[in-house]
Chains A and B, each alone.
Chain A
Amino acid sequence: MAVDYIALWNEQHEAANRQKQIWNGGKSFWEDPENIRRFVDRLMGSDRSRIEAQLAAMQIPPGSTVLDIGAGPGTLAVPLALAGCDVTVVEPSAGMRAAMKEYQEISGAPAIREIPSRWEDADPAEVGVHDVVVASFSLALDDISPSLEKIDSAAKRSVHLFWFLTLPTWTGANFSLWPALHGSEFAAEPTADLLWNCLCQLGIYPDVTVEHVEKGQRYPTEEEAVADYCRRLYVRNDHQRAIVASFVRERIVRTGAGFGIPGVSKTAHIRWEKFPGAGERSGHVL
């Protein structure tokens, strides 16, 4: 097969990364305490059904050791620890780790081991081997081939990856407005179809379950929606703000719980089981 999916992923991810870094002034989005606070507020205030659906779909038996890569504020890690799993997280952002600590204490969950590192930089010896490895919406990884192989080797029983199969609704604004705001095309992260192709290329043939996401982000007021879109689109002046505001006002609708821009997107739950002797996987053969 002539297509090198791994190279395609790396190319697209690097382009997205470059663009994000320019507009974040070279810093990661998750180093900004404001972004973390909003993310955590949303987690606490949001409808839990999606997290519960994710936990149910993974069917992780209590007592399992679980490695959660890019755990954020403990969205899955804390409920898993509460359910009796022995959880280790890999999370580079100090703010996220502090938020998780708080969430864990409030909910009375057992202690969670922390590896303060990006996955790419984590030392396999320090990471260890776990029954189950999870990476939920945290797959914007550099150099995807070794990153995925490291995920596979850290798992004894199974791996669960969650990622966008179509881009989430809010990125529609990025595609539409980025050229007018910043004079270039928006560079999106590669989606789950390419991720699955990369895994096949590595000789791992995972299952895929497609989930439908029918609700976009909810906001208490129209103004907050405009403010959030302005942040996501790195708006710096009034001219840009006017462009974003008119985009949002044209699309926003009132819903039971506030305001939102309707849209449908899909996410993929990509999973594979480890089998004894599965180590001798050969590459893609045709």
Chain B
Amino acid sequence: MRYESPGASGTTIDYARLWDEQHARSLAQKEKMGENRGRFWSSQDVVDRFVKNVISGDRSRIEKQIAGMQIPPGSSVLDIGAGPGTLAVPLALMGCRVTTVEPSAPMGAAMEEYRRTVNAPPIREIRSRWEDVSPEEAGVHDVVIASRSLIMGDIRNSLLKMDAAARRAVHLYWFISSPHASGGNAELWPALHGEPYYGEANADVLWNVLCQLGIYANVKVDARDRVRRYSGFDEMKQDLYNRLFVKEDWQREIVDVFLRDRAVPDDSGYVILGSSRTAHIWWEKDDPSPDQSASV
């Protein structure tokens, strides 16, 4: 069986199916615990913590991310899963015309507040999951971004829709060694819930899906030695209880023991140590730069 890409290895692995199956398994596990359709991302606590991280957190990482995309001012940008405007607001400030796709209303409200605070130009908002956005509604933009927001099913069509919505380039950011692996989930889930943790597929699968679709993307891997940061120990505990669906005291005890071992104070709060890698996966449309024809 061969896929769209005529030249690739011709291995019989259907990476898109692999992604979709892993996503479905991960989703089913969270739904069993009571999470449904984005409740986590719509909870005010989670949004507040996100906003705090965006405004007072490590700006250098966001600046580095934006610099890495080399988006010229004046570009139109579609930001899929924009959250509280982490990238969308700085991009609007830089003079880009930004449209966001974000299903969570509290995230949208947080972005609006962030935007007003820093006096950025208006941002067009599509309040929806990417899977549900029609191509007409999405429109066509110079650049399409999806930063750590690829918790999506039907990955084949989700990615093709992104490619179709981009005139110049697409930038994806996704975990290549899942933070869940060292951030607690994989280690604690079996003890808390009596089964293995099912995370989303990693960026390596994502890159292979793209090859399967005939999209040959560049990859830049960013390695970090910490997983998440918090302004206080209690906040950190609450976030882990929430992420891990902890309800009982004996479960809280397991999480607390883990945190005493793995969380360390830094200058303005706590970080959970562990290795975390993010892949920046990007491609340009139609190889527009004429000088590339020079390479044989």
Q: Residues on A close to B: CB < 8 A?
A: 3, 8, 12, 46-47, 49-50, 53, 164-167, 171, 188, 190-191, 193-194, 196-197, 200, 205-215, 265-266, 268, 272, 284-286
A266-B216 in contact given A50-B296, A212-B287 (Cβ < 8 Å): yes
Partner of B186, one of A50, A167, A286: A286
B residues in contact with A206, CB < 8 Å: 219, 221
Query: Chain B contacts of A268 at CB under 8 A?
Result: 216
Give the distance to chain A from B125, nearest Cβ to Cβ, in Å: 33
Please measure, in the bound complex, the distance between the C-alpha atom of A268 and the C-alpha atom of B9, giving whole angstroms. 13
Query: Within the complex, which residue of A166, A208, A215 is in contact with B5, where a contact is CB–CB below 8 Å?
Result: A166
| A/B interface sample: 19 pairs, CB < 8 A | A46-B296, A47-B296, A166-B7, A167-B7, A193-B9, A196-B207, A197-B208, A205-B177, A205-B221, A205-B277, A207-B221, A211-B295, A212-B292, A213-B295, A215-B293, A266-B7, A266-B216, A285-B178, A286-B202
| Interface pair A191/B7, CB less than 8 Å apart | yes
Given contacts A188-B10, A205-B221, A213-B295, 16 further A-B contacts (CB under 8 A): A3-B18, A53-B294, A165-B8, A165-B211, A166-B8, A193-B208, A194-B11, A200-B204, A210-B283, A211-B295, A212-B287, A214-B293, A214-B296, A272-B221, A286-B181, A286-B199
Binary contact readout B1-19 vs A (1 if CB under 8 angstroms, 0 otherwise): 0000111111101000010
B44, CB-defined interface residue at 8 Å: no
Give B contacts to A, CB under 8 Å: 5-11, 13, 18, 176-178, 181-182, 186, 199, 202, 204, 207-208, 211, 216-221, 223, 277, 279, 283, 287, 292-296
Please determine whether A12 and B11 come into contact, CB atoms closer than 8 angstroms: yes
Chain B residues contacting A208 (CB-CB under 8 Å) are 207, 217-219
Contacts of A165 in B (CB 8 A): 7-8, 211, 216
- B residues within 8 A CB of A197? 204, 208
Contact of A285 among B181, B208, B294, B295 (CB under 8 A): B181
B186 proximity list for chain A (CB < 8 A): 285-286
Contacts of A193 in B (CB 8 A): 8-9, 207-208, 211
Q: Which 9 A-B residue pairings sit nearest by Cβ, starting from the closest?
A: A166-B7, A208-B219, A50-B296, A285-B181, A167-B7, A205-B221, A200-B204, A194-B9, A191-B9
Closest Cβ of chain A to B154, distance in Å, is 21
Q: Which of B178, B182, B199, B294 has the most CB of A within 10 A?
A: B294
Contact A12 B199 (CB under 8 A): no
* Pairwise interchain contact A212-B295, C-beta atoms closer than 8 A: yes
B296 in contact with A265 (CB, 8 Å): no
Q: Which residue on B lies nearest to A209, using beta carbons?
A: B218
Please indicate the chain A residues that have their CB under 8 angstroms from the CB of B220 in the complex: 207
What separation, in Å, do the CA atoms of A118 and B185 have in the docked complex? 44
Q: Chain B residues near A207: list those with CB within 8 A.
A: 218-221
Most A-side CB within 10 Å, residue of B10, B178, B216? B216
Task: Give min CB distance, A212 to chain B, whole Å.
Answer: 5
State in angstroms the CA–CA spacing of A14 and B296 once bound together.
28
Given A50-B295, A207-B221: A265 touches B199 (CB 8 Å cut-off): no
A284-B89 Cα distance, complex, nearest whole Å = 35
Q: How far is the CA of A272 from the CA of B221 in the complex (A)?
A: 9
Q: How far is the CA of A188 from the CA of B217 in the complex (A)?
A: 22
Residue of A nearest to B280 (CB): A207
Residues of A within 8 A of B279 (CB): 205
**Distance to closest chain A CB from B151 (angstroms):** 15
Report the bound CA distance from A164 to B6 in whole Å.
Answer: 13
Cα distance A167–B9 in the bound complex, in angstroms: 8
A117 and B123 CA atoms in complex are apart in Å by 61
Point out the residues of chain B lying under 8 angstroms from A211, CB to CB.
292, 295
Task: Report the Cα distance A208→B210, complex, angstroms.
Answer: 13
Please tell me if the beta carbons of B11 and A8 are within 8 angstroms of each other in the complex. yes
- Distance in angstroms between the alpha carbons of A46 and B5 in the assembled complex: 29
Q: Which of B11, B208, B292 has the most CB of A within 10 A?
A: B11
Chain B residue contacts of A164, Cβ below 8 A: 7
Judging by beta carbons under 8 Å apart, are B296 and A215 in contact?
Answer: yes
Q: Are B11 and A166 in contact, with the CB atoms below 8 A?
A: no
Smallest Cβ-Cβ distance to B214: which chain A residue: A166
List the B residue with the shortest CB-CB distance to A164.
B7
- The answer to whether A3 and B8 have CB atoms under 8 Å apart is no
On chain A, the residues within 8 Å of B292 by CB distance are: 211-212, 214
The answer, among A53, A200, A210, A215, for a CB contact under 8 Å with B176, is: A200
Q: Cβ of A49 and Cβ of B295 under 8 Å apart? A: yes
Contact partner of A213 among B218, B223, B296, CB < 8 A?
A: B296
Residues of B contacting A194 with CB < 8 Å? 9, 11
Chain B residue at minimal CB-CB distance from A167: B7
A209 and B216 CA atoms in complex are apart in Å by 9
Give the shortest distance, in Å, between B71 (CB) and chain A (any CB): 19
